[in-house]
Structure 1
Amino acid sequence: MRETRPVLTKEPGWYPDPQGVPQVRFWDGDTWTDYTQPFAPLETASHGPTTALADYPYLADANLRASDGPRTVSTWTPAPVLVPPTSRAPGRRRSGLVWWLVGGGALVVTILVVALGALGTGDGDAPVGADPSPSSTTTIDPIAVDVEARGTVPADGELRSTLEVTTDGAYLVVATSDEDVKLTLTPAGGTDPLPLPDDRGTVLADHLGGTWSDPGYYLHLTAGTYDVVVTEHDALQTEVTVLVEPATVVELPLGVATDVTVADYLPTVVSVPVDAAGTLLVDARAADPDAQDGQLTYDAGGRITSVDDRGPTLAGTTGGAEYDPLAEVPVEPGYAFVVLEDLFGASGTFSVTVTLG
Structure 2
Amino acid sequence: MRLQFAPLNVPLRRRLQTAAVLQWVFSFLALAQCCLAAFVLLALSDWWLLALLYAGWLWLDGDTPTSGGRRSQWVRSWLVWDYFRDYFPLKLVKTVDLDPKKNYIFGLHPHGVLVAGAFGSFCTESSGFSAQFPGLRPHLLMLPFWFRVPFFRDYIMCGGLVSSCKSSLSYLVSRPEGGNVAVVAVGGASEALDARPGALTLQVQNRKGFIKLALKHGAQLVPVFSFGENELFDQVENPTGSPLRRLQNRLQSIMGVSVPLFHARGVFQYSFGLMPYRRTVSTVVGRPIPVTQTPSPSSEDIQRLHSVYLQSLTELFEDNKHKYGVQDHRHLDLM
TM-score after normalising by structure 1:
0.27
Structure having greater relative contact order (Cα 8 Å, sep ≥ 6): 2
**Structure with max Cα Rg:** 1
More strand by share: 1
TM-score after normalising by structure 2:
0.28
